[in-house]
Amino acid sequence: MFLLNTWYVAASSTEVQDKPLGRKICGERIVFFRSAEGKISALEDFCPHRGAPLSLGFQRGDHIVCGYHGLAVDCKGHAAHMTGQNTNQFPSVKSFPAVDRYGFVWVWPGEASKADESLIPVMHWYDNPEWAYGGGLYHINCNYLLMIDNLMDLTHETYVHSTSIGQSEIEEAPVKTTFDSHTVRTSRHMENVKAPPFWQNALVAQGLPADGLVDRWQVCKFSLPTHVMIDVGVAVAGKGGYEAEQKDKASSTVIDFITPEDEHSMWYFWGMARQFKADDKDLTEQIRKGQGGIFSEDLQMLEQQQRNLVHWPERRLMKLNIDAGGVHSRRIIEREIALEKETRTAKA
């Protein structure tokens, strides 16, 4: 089940340019395309003539033209034109609210009348010269809740990412979890530790010694519907850790937009926004590639985990204190889905 009356990242802005893009979001097959002025539109990926995917067509002015028989459909889903044919009686296809903002295409798969653009989270780092951002996209064959579990408990870094960001101190450090009705926060702080390889490289880029002791932190923040932002970094030991001045630390925010495709697969938009050496494009690409490699390790583990859970659906999974972040995040999602379902039932 998915929360529908909310905004999900459907694509990066660059994925939808001069060609339509078909993507399945929360079980809905949707085609994204742009008007002549560049405004984004989202429709059911279904041609009302013979059912072909509109995403296999092309853009022409403010219309998307079916690649099978040439039916032109406007941005509202109305059949607009077909050479030599009368399309006045053609049914419309469903349209979805969609917005291009912060370098992403956002879609609202639920009730269009409830779509509120002010609910799109503010990305303070976007288009800010003091920040740099690099990221990517993975399609992962696992339920989206497994990725939320993964990101809200970083204990796995010690094992899954042992050659890049993992270290034994992660599982040894106590984890603190707090939550309210819509958000969950888990945090770990490690003092006087040696930085792992990824963060050693970041320290060098910041002009700081890579071989000295550091204070390290991981602060994971979940918010509806499925977003996880993680403040991570290292600072020269004794300089204040998380609160250290920028000159004494290398820190970033890991961006995680998790978009369900269906019950067994998801779209994972990942990236890292940093506030040091923001004008160094080579460093941005170096970090992006490194982060992409790290997340590919999660991909393998999560897909195999999903296969096991499908194979043994009766097995009960254990819950430890390290799982609290994921458990509370799931509870918030489940509560909101139940409330949404109650509202739909009451209207029926």
Interval 268-283: pLDDT, tens? 999 999 988 999 999 9
Question: Is 70 exceeded by the pLDDT of residue 348?
Answer: no
Does 34 lie in the same domain as 170?
Answer: no
Does 173 lie in the same domain as 76?
Answer: no
Domain containing 149 equals: 132-338
Q: Where do the DSSP E strands lie in the chain?
A: 8-12, 21-25, 28-34, 40-44, 58-60, 63-65, 72-73, 79-81, 95-96, 98-101, 104-107, 132-140, 176-179, 183-194, 213-223, 227-236, 249-262, 265-274
CATH at 333: 3.90.380.10
CATH at 104: 2.102.10.10
Confidence of residue 343 (pLDDT cuts 50, 70, 90): confident
Does 143 lie in the same domain as 27?
Answer: no
Confidence of residue 221 (pLDDT cuts 50, 70, 90): very high
Amino acid at 237: A
Does 157 lie in the same domain as 58?
Answer: no
pLDDT of amino acid 162: 86
Q: CA geometry: angle at 176 spanning 172 and 181, to 5°? A: 150
Residue showing tokens 């509560």: 335
Count: domains in the chain: 2
Residue 127 maps to a domain: no
Q: CA geometry: angle at 300 spanning 294 and 302, to 5°? A: 100
Looking at the DSSP bridge assignments, the partners of residue 257 are 227, 269
The domain boundary, picked from 119, 154, 175, lies at 119
CA distance 233 to 235: 7
Q: How many CB atoms lie within 10 A of CB 124?
A: 12
Residue 174 maps to a domain: yes
Residue 82 maps to a domain: yes
Does 309 lie in the same domain as 196?
Answer: yes
pLDDT, averaged across the chain: 95
Residue 126 maps to a domain: no
User: b/e for 303-312, b at 16 or more Cβ within 10 A?
Assistant: eeebeeeeee
pLDDT of amino acid 339: 95
Helix (H), strand (E), coil (C) string for 114-137: HCCHHHCCCCCCCCCCCCEEEEEE
Residue 258 maps to a domain: yes
| Average pLDDT over every residue of 20-30 | 98
Q: Are 236 and 249 in contact (CB under 8 A)?
A: yes
Does 156 lie in the same domain as 231?
Answer: yes
Does 142 lie in the same domain as 82?
Answer: no
Q: Are 81 and 63 in contact (CB under 8 A)?
A: yes
Does 144 lie in the same domain as 29?
Answer: no
Q: Is 61 helix (H, G, I), strand (E, B) or coil?
A: coil
Tell me what percent of the residues of the chain surpass a pLDDT of 70: 100
**Dihedral over Cα of 298, 299, 302, 304: its sign:** negative
Looking at the DSSP bridge assignments, the partners of residue 95 are 43
Torsion on CA atoms 58, 60, 62, 66, rounded to nearest 10: -40
Does 158 lie in the same domain as 247?
Answer: yes
CA distance 209 to 215: 13
Residue 238 maps to a domain: yes
Q: How many CB atoms lie within 10 A of CB 244?
A: 20
Take residue 340 and report the two structure tokens written for it.
């949404």
Does 84 lie in the same domain as 167?
Answer: no
Residue 21 maps to a domain: yes
Q: Is 178 helix (H, G, I), strand (E, B) or coil?
A: strand
The domain boundary, picked from 92, 119, 146, lies at 119
Give CA 157 to chain center in angstroms: 19
Residue 212 maps to a domain: yes
- What's the pLDDT tens digit per position in 36-61? 999 999 999 999 999 999 999 999 99
Does 284 lie in the same domain as 156?
Answer: yes
Q: Is 146 helix (H, G, I), strand (E, B) or coil?
A: helix
